[in-house]
Amino acid sequence: MSEINRPAYYTVQELQILQNQGVILPSPSHLCIGREVPLENINAGAVLYPFCTITGERTRIYPDARVGLRGSVSIHNSVVGSKAVIGNLGPVTLVETVTGPETVLGMGVAENSVFLGKETQVDDFTTGMGFRARKGSLYEEDSSSAQHTDTKMTILFPWVTLGSNINFCDALIAGGRGPDMGEFTEVGSGTVHFNFTLRGDKATASLFGNVPEGAFLRSERLFLGGNNSLLGPLSAQFGAFSAAGIRSAGELKAGLNLGRGLPTGHTDYNPNVFNHARRIIGQQVHYVGQLTALYHWYREVRMRLVGNNAERRRLYEAGQNVVALNIQERIKQVGRYVEGLETSIRILNQKPLPPRKTITEQEILLEHWSRLERHLKNYENHVWELPGVLSNALEETAARKDSVYTKVIRNLPEESVKFGQDWLHSIVHRCEHFFLNELKPDE
């Protein structure tokens, strides 16, 4: 048979190869596996239920995974981890997505996302019904979302839990000491992170907790009440709680936050005039610094814990790539914001009493953006050598074959934690240095 006329999918007879290598196919005639998928990438013990479509030469399915348990599943250039369950509640689509060991995806869609998997069985799901994880979503160990959630360019640290009916894009959220009730960070049902301004820019990424403390999994948790309206860019301290049904902007401080009301009436508004540009760009540069620290955490810390585990190595590499995607997205969105400053400066100069300080700030930002952009894009080099105290502690732990990531990090000696936090803070400061010290308006 010529290549032109050859079927695009393996025949039932050819799928016998999978069965011979220990893959379980309850109904081979109801499977579509593209010929570009190397059959050796589907490992023994995996179960492929009927009505699944599997394509893409980079697709890989690890041992004991269950694909299509309670609904049809479509997989393209994606990785299904060991003992993962895809389609626990209904149909699921995975596109360019990596799921780690024991991930449990209910019903929904994931695109260009990474789920690091489950390390505990406190709950039995990673995502519920109606989830959508869009480009740049990273669910770290045991983080989860309930029903009808949407994330994009969002990073959830271990155990962070999103409730139902949530839109949470352009954010990083940390905090918590473990998977038990009252120990992990929660976002209440109905909460929305508003990541567009009135003018339509997205220099609005919000930071809940931070990377240098949060990475060590021993910080106070955060609790964001249900039906919260979170206006980005927003920052939240560890230990911040918010009441249900409130509107928050600026900062959530440790303790109970009661929100703020909307002013009434009407005011003139020109979307082409930018206010507080330096503060907003400074927040986004700080956010990029936090992501840069997380990028090096993956490269220098997580990679020391993989040992000979090829699956975990691929998983952490995928997570690091998602962090890089988030960095690139933030720089792009800040660039779009800066593009609008030229028009803003022109309008401000036409006022009877031009606000000179505001104009000067915007002129400096506009003039030096290309240099700042290059500095931020150099994130791979914004790092100092990992402290020996932390390096030694990690190497001792990596020698234990059954090491579990969250347990390893929580059990690190306090001295190594202190050095590690200082190391991560230094990366953030190095990333911010150019903006804070060289783009400063004259007093």
Task: Return the amino acid letter for 212.
Answer: P
Q: Which of 183, 249, 194, 256 is nearest to 225 (CA)?
A: 256
**What is the predicted pLDDT for the residue at 402?**
61
Say which DSSP state 390 is in. Answer: H
Four-CA torsion 317, 323, 329, 331, nearest 10 degrees: -110
Phi then psi for residue 243, to 5 deg, are -70, 165
pLDDT value at residue 131: 98
Per-residue pLDDT tens for 100-144? 999 999 999 999 999 999 998 767 899 999 999 999 999 999 999
Q: How far is CA 434 from the centre of its chain?
A: 26
Look-up of token digits 């789920």: 115
Q: 351: which DSSP letter?
A: S
What's the CA gap between 59 and 254, in Å, rounded? 44
Picking from 29, 81, 134, 47, the residue whose alpha carbon sits closest to that of residue 311 is 81
Cβ distance 97 to 60 under 8 Å?
Answer: no
Please report where in the chains the tokens 């109904």 appear, as a residue. Answer: 27
Phi, psi of 392 (to 5 degrees): -65, -40
Q: Which tokens hold the place of 438?
A: 């060289």
Q: Give the tokens for residue 167.
A: 């839109």
pLDDT at 1 (0 to 100): 43
On the question of a cis peptide bond just before residue 413, with omega within 30 degrees of 0, the verdict is: no
How big, in percent rounded to 5, are the helix, strand and coil portions of the chain? 35, 25, 45
Within 8 A by CB and 6+ apart from 275, the residues are: 358
Strands 206-208 vs 186-187: parallel, antiparallel or unpaired: unpaired
Length of the chain: 443
Q: Which residues of the chain have pLDDT under 70?
A: 1-7, 122, 401-402, 441-443
**Per-residue three-class SS string for 242-311:** ECCCCEEEEEECCEEECCCCCCCCCCCCCCCCCCCHHHHHHHHHHHHHHHHHHHHHHHHCHHHHCCCCHH
Distance CA 85, CA 64 (A): 9
Q: How far apart, in whole angstroms, are the C-alpha atoms of residue 38 and residue 16?
A: 14
Which has the closest alpha carbon to 50: 26, 17, 14? Answer: 26
CA–CA gap between residue 434 and residue 283 (Å, rounded): 14
Give the pairing of strands 247-252 and 229-236. Answer: parallel
> Distance between CA atoms of 150 and 162, rounded to whole angstroms?
10
pLDDT for 3 equals 53
Exposure of 191 by Cβ count < 10 A (0-12 exposed, 13-18 middle, 19+ buried)? buried
